[in-house]
Amino acid sequence: DAGVTQSPTHLIKTRGQHVTLRCSPISGHKSVSWYQQVLGQGPQFIFQYYEKEERGRGNFPDRFSARQFPNYSSELNVNALLLGDSALYLCASSTMFQVEEAFFGQGTRLTVV
Amino acid sequence: AQKVTQAQTEISVVEKEDVTLDCVYETRDTTYYLFWYKQPPSGELVFLIRRNSFDEQNEISGRYSWNFQKSTSSFNFTITASQVVDSAVYFCALSGRAFTGANSKLTFGKGITLSVRP
């Protein structure tokens, strides 16, 4: 079975632009979470979606939004990019609403210039 | 609020040495889960172990062992006879029991960079 897949793997954007990151969970997993990992830090929780509904939101500005599709894949959108948004964005999928077993993708490395 | 502290930032050992990675956590939840993840240079977080708050038994898996002590809010990770392939960043994480969704997130520490030299 395929693991969690994220696309693209690398991305360079200019300040003020918009970006969309994509995540496909493991087959059968209905929960997707997004994390931001700034260089040298641990991942920070952004969103969790379960059964296409937002179930949790971290301390991020409204420029960050996400959604989950009927096939349980998910998109993370960031508007009006700032230099500080440069980070590794990780997607995690799990079978259940809770995170007892969360499996992570390899991430999308976003660089804002 | 939940918090995970990994006071060690970088550890360097010679191959075959034993090494212990420390993790201290804070939570008001009575039921919670503790995790360790390994992050190689490729970036993917690799799941190593999950322990729930009611299970204080130590666990051993090959060269890896974990010591959970609720009394000191610690969940330490020991690698025995370290190998070069163990070089990575290691994260300790905490999750609360999610009845309402408010605690469904993972709270990570800042990570410990382990370098194992030949």
- Given a contact cutoff of 8 angstroms between Cβ atoms, the answer to whether A47 and B93 are in contact is no
Distance, in Å, from the CA atom of B112 to the CA atom of A58, rounded to the nearest integer, reads 23
Chain A contact present for B20, CB below 8 A = no
What percent of chain B has a predicted confidence (pLDDT) above 90? 68
A100 contacts in chain B (CB < 8 Å): 33, 50, 95
What pLDDT is recorded for position B101?
43
Chain B contact present for A106, CB below 8 A = yes
Q: Could you report the per-residue pLDDT of A77-94, keeping only the tens digit for each?
A: 999 999 999 999 999 988
What pLDDT is recorded for position A71?
94
What percent of chain B has a predicted confidence (pLDDT) above 70? 93
What pLDDT is recorded for position B98?
54
What pLDDT is recorded for position A100?
62
CB pair distance less than 8 Å for B108 and A43:
yes
Min Cα distance B43 → chain A (Å) is: 5
CB pair distance less than 8 Å for B101 and A103:
no
Q: Could you report the per-residue pLDDT of A30-76, keeping only the tens digit for each?
A: 889 999 999 999 999 999 998 888 988 999 999 999 999 999 999 99
pLDDT at B87 over 80: yes
What pLDDT is recorded for position B54?
86
Mean predicted lDDT score pLDDT of chain B: 90
Q: Could you report the per-residue pLDDT of B92-108, keeping only the tens digit for each?
A: 999 876 544 444 688 99
CB pair distance less than 8 Å for A45 and B110:
no
Amino acid at B50: R
CB pair distance less than 8 Å for B98 and A98:
yes
Distance, in Å, from the CA atom of A34 to the CA atom of A27, rounded to the nearest integer, reads 17
